[in-house]
Amino acid sequence: MKIQNTLLLALLILVLGISCTPPKGEAQEATITSAPFGKLPDGQEVTSYTMTNVNGVSMDVITYGGIVTSLMIPDREGKLEDVVLGYDNIEGYLEQTPYFGAIIGRYGNRIADAKFTLDSVEYSLAANNGPNHLHGGEVGFDKVNWTAKPLEVDNGVALELSYVSADMEEGYPGTLTTSVIYTLTNDNDWIVSYEATTDKKTVVNLTQHAYFNFTAMKDDILSHELKINAPYFLPVDSTLIPTGELRPVEGTPFDFTESKVIGAEIDADNQQIKYGPGYDHCWVLAESTDSLNFAASLYEPTSGRLMEIYTEEPAIQFYAGNFLDGTITGKEGKVYNYRTGLCLETQHYPDSPNQSDFPSVVLNPGETYRTVTVMKFSTK
Ligand code: BGC
């Protein structure tokens, strides 16, 4: 069923692409170019790819972590600005990064007490976030050098990133053969298509960790307006592990079912907000019969920039940059203060390997993990 849906999606993109020729005079060719981006300590070369669509919207991606180092999108006047946090060079990413722009795997988000059991075998993972395991461990998918291959697509540009994670890497069973395709369409959509196969039963939950700021980092993210298509969120304990409850958002600061300014209740007197501190929770998306479910929209009123997210995943983590504290100086010397960027990470629920009531994240040999998320950029 999933395969059919993905094929349908590909067909839809193709058809839309053919019918959406940009206005005469403005069109340029969609291109993908590459340049060296430095070296890893072991001498591996990191390459940066610049993907540009016919509207001049562009995205820079490095092979290290599959990190999106720049995303240039227009404001309502057509001015292109970079709306993602990151560094100018590889040294920045190697020294310290809160997962800026990276592919996260094998498991996006937390696994309680850094362990899980599959078929009566207990697997121990790195406890790299208090007592818990976060974002795949010490050397997760955000810290490996992916193999990149530009792909020919009709309606834009695409880059395939591949990585084979060895059996027991970071404590996870099974050789995981992974591919993530970033497509930048001529309709200003960024499509992320994930695929993975394994040779042993394992768990997998991949996501993308871009930090967005539609003021182009001139301000924090508190005046952005957010809508999340979710009737429930997952309350957490003090270490940010879900308690197992699906709590209705209604009447709480977690209600984003109607578009709401992020700053409105981010510091509310609420136990869950205190744990964040602020928003750092997973929302359970409303069920839908569409294969690509509307998950969230993010709007910034001064620039007019709007992003709408559609996904095949059942949930989305909204992290409001609560751990950014001004100690990181990013691109062009900009200091990333408290809540300078936010992440909207489509995914399965945190700690699913330990919570049997949550949708399964188990991948068996012979199956293909396949999931698509689309971020549509426009202005209003
Ligand atoms: C998590 C935060 C974490 C951040 C790391 C987010 O996905 O929800 O709790 O601090 O990643 O940068």
Q: Which of 133, 135, 169, 209 is catalytic?
A: 209
Residue 249 lies in a domain: yes
Residue 24 lies in a domain: no
Residue 2 lies in a domain: no
Domain extent, residue 358, equals 31-379
Predicted pLDDT at 8: 53
The CATH number of the domain where 328 resides is what? 2.70.98.10
* Mean pLDDT per 10-residue interval, the chain, length 380 residues: 51 45 63 98 98 98 99 98 98 97 98 98 98 98 98 97 98 98 98 98 98 98 98 98 98 98 98 97 95 97 98 98 96 97 98 98 98 98
CA 203 to ligand 1 center in whole angstroms: 20
CA 300 to ligand 1 center in whole angstroms: 22
State whether the beta carbon of 142 lies less than 6 angstroms from ligand 1.
no
Active site includes 224? no
> Counting atoms of ligand 1 from 1, which one is nearest the CA of 323?
10
Residue 5 lies in a domain: no
Predicted pLDDT at 17: 43
- Residues 6 or more apart whose CB falls under 8 angstroms from that of 103 comprise 65, 66, 67, 141, 142, 146, 161, 180, 206, 207, 208, 209
**Counted domains in the chain:** 1
Residue 213 lies in a domain: yes
Residue 25 lies in a domain: no
CA 236 to ligand 1 center in whole angstroms: 14
pTM for the model: 0.93
State whether the beta carbon of 130 lies less than 6 angstroms from ligand 1.
no
Residues in the chain: 380
State whether the beta carbon of 345 lies less than 6 angstroms from ligand 1.
yes
State whether the beta carbon of 98 lies less than 6 angstroms from ligand 1.
yes
Residue 6 lies in a domain: no
Cα angle at 21 between 15 and 26, to 5 degrees? 155
